[in-house]
Each structure stands twice: as C-alpha cells, then as structure tokens.
Structure 1
Amino acid sequence: MTGRTPPLGDNGGLWQAVMAAAAGRCQCRGTCGTSHAKDGGRCKTVHGGYGPRHGTGPVRLLAAAADPADLLLPAHKAAALPKTALAAWCPACHDATRRKAVKARQAAAPAVEPDSLF
C-alpha cells in the first residue's frame, strides 16, 4: 500500500485531485485553533505519515469542504461541492474545525425562550 492509496469509492478521482492540489499535506491554516506557527502557518501532517502521538498509526487525510461553515452542510450537499471548494484535512484539524463551526453557529443562533404553561 502506498502513501497515496485513495479511499474506497473514489471512482471519479475527486479525492486524488484534492490531494494532488494539497501536495498530500493537510491544508489547515489555523482554523482548528492551533496556529501551526512552527510549520509556516500550515499543518505539517502528510497523508500516510504518522500522527503526533506514539501509536496513532498512519494518518489518512480527508477531502472535505475548505470553508469551515460548509463542514456543517448535510451530506448530500457536501457531496455536491466542486473540487475547488474542497481541501485536504487531517482528522485532528477537521474535527477541531468542525467543533468550532458548531459552536459559532450555536452562538449566532437567537436564544429561544420556552413556551409558558400559563
């Protein structure tokens, strides 16, 4: 197995196109909450490389929406995004960015007051 083995179901080569544009490296530039300052402002995780913790095994990058707000799209809308709207994400940056987007959406939502009983 090579470091560029695509995930199952990548018949159209979309994942491979996103990875080629990213040079096989996570494209997070701090939206996850980490500055990545030691690595020039971009996450250093590469596809097929090893995670930052001992025993994590090889990292498999994801092709997902580049805009953090689009990470909250329903699956059928996210699947329709063009490859120019996608980026390579390591699982850690993807999950942290998605969590931050959820919190931002919740903070922006108006407070709902409960219905009174009387």
Structure 2
Amino acid sequence: MSGRIPPLGDTTGLWQAVLSAAAGRCQCRGTCGKTHAKDGGRCPVRHGGYARHNAGPVRLLAAPADPDGLLLPAHRAAALPKRELAAWCPACHDSTRRTAAKTGRGATGPADSLF
C-alpha cells in the first residue's frame, strides 16, 4: 500500500483502510453491468493502474458497498462503518449508481463517493 497518497479530507485513514482491505483493486462483482468474467468475476482495475489507453492513472473511490448505498446523501454515506464500504473504480461506481437510480432503489439525494 506504500506510494498511495490519500485524498484530501481522509484524516481518519478510512480511504486507506478500504483500499487495503480491497488489496488496491476495485471490488465490483458485476453490479456495473459487466460480468468481469475474464477476471474471475471481479473488476480488474487497480489503484494507480490504467483502465484504458490514453487515460491517466485510476484513483479508486471509497463508497458504500451496497448499490443502494450509492444513492445515499454524502453525509449519510460518510457515517457508514468501514465494513459497509468498498473500493470502486470510477467507471464501475458511476455505472452501478446509474443502475440503482434507474431502478428506483435506495434513498434519494446526491450520490457521491466519500473520497
């Protein structure tokens, strides 16, 4: 986990703890709409890696693990304990959040990552 610079505002080390528990890899298992079948059912994107050519390095997000939780207002998501958070690459996070919003699941309000 060395070399990871936490985002501003991570004064408690929560982002670092979530990334450590995820071994620095996105924890999506298909809620984004992709099967991730070529990668054992889990998104292959790693923090600091590249999701595609000609794109900058990926910064994983710490956000609610449950897709419904991605629709929580930021102040409620920030109160979740570490065990209810997961590491998400931006693409899986956004796709999962859009799917949850379309299906009318979860709470209403802004859907943000914590970091």
Normalised TM-score (structure 2): 0.87
Q: Which has the higher helix share?
A: 1
What residue number does 2:24 align with? 24
Percent sequence identity over aligned pairs: 74
What residue number does 2:81 align with? 82
Greater relative CO (CA pairs within 8 A, separation 6+): 2
What residue number does 2:34 align with? 34
The alignment covers a number of residue pairs equal to 104
Normalised TM-score (structure 1): 0.85
Q: Equivalences for 1:1-118 in 2 at 5 Å?
A: 3-52=3-52, 54-105=53-104
Aligned-residue offset at 1:41: 0.2
> Which of the pair has more CA radius of gyration?
1
Aligned-residue offset at 1:3: 4.7
- For structure 1, the 5+ residue unaligned runs are 107-118
Quote the RMSD (CA, aligned, Å): 1.2
What's the secondary structure of 2:24's corresponding residue?
A: coil
Give the partner amino acid of 1:59: V
Poorly superposed stretches of 4+, deviation over 2 Å:
none
